[in-house]
Amino acid sequence: MIPLTISPMKEEDISQVLKIENLSFLDPWTQRMYLAEIKERDDSYFVVSKLGTHIIGYGGFWLVVDEAHLVNIAIHPDFRRQGIGTQIMRYLLNLAKELGAKRATLEVRESNLIAQNFYAKFGFIPCALRKKYYPDTQENAIIMWLNEL
């Protein structure tokens, strides 16, 4: 595995995060959305993964009572399949547990089998379907749960 540092996302990280965001998602988040996550929300926890000074991945969750709702995780395409996503996911799940979360949930595109298999490695299981969840394509989302952190 690549030696990385993982730390809380800061405002100055957002420009690098947005580059990865735009390479990773059909309906990417905006600068304003990330600013709100890190500056305005008390229930939002976002981290970046750096190789030196370069951000190569990030992820985040919302803590809702005792549940972690994972909302974003992405790795720069040049660094995928090298264990970085695994390091970020472990970090996020450990942080959520330290903050009092007892379980975790997420939504994933029905067509994104790579992500579904990635989440399954951590014990997430598909539990329900949200019809036409993604506004860009009207694609369904699979709701996955990890019932014990």
Helix (H) or strand (E) holding 33: helix 31-39
Rounded Cα gap, residues 21 and 75, in angstroms: 9
Q: Residue 24: which residues within 8 A CB-CB, separation 6 or more?
A: 74, 75, 77
Please state the length of the chain: 149
User: What crossing angle do the helices spanning 14-24 and 31-39 adopt, rounded to 10°?
Assistant: 130
Among 58, 119, 134, 139, which one carries the catalytic annotation? 119
Q: In angstroms, what CA-CA distances link 16 with 28, 43, 90?
A: 13, 23, 22
Choose the catalytic residue: 37, 67, 107, 133.
Answer: 107
DSSP letters, 93-124, are HHHHHHTT--EEEEEEETT-HHHHHHHHTTT-
Query: Does 67 participate in catalysis according to the annotation?
Result: no
107 catalytic? Reply is yes
Would you please indicate which residues are annotated as catalytic (active-site) residues? Answer: 107, 119
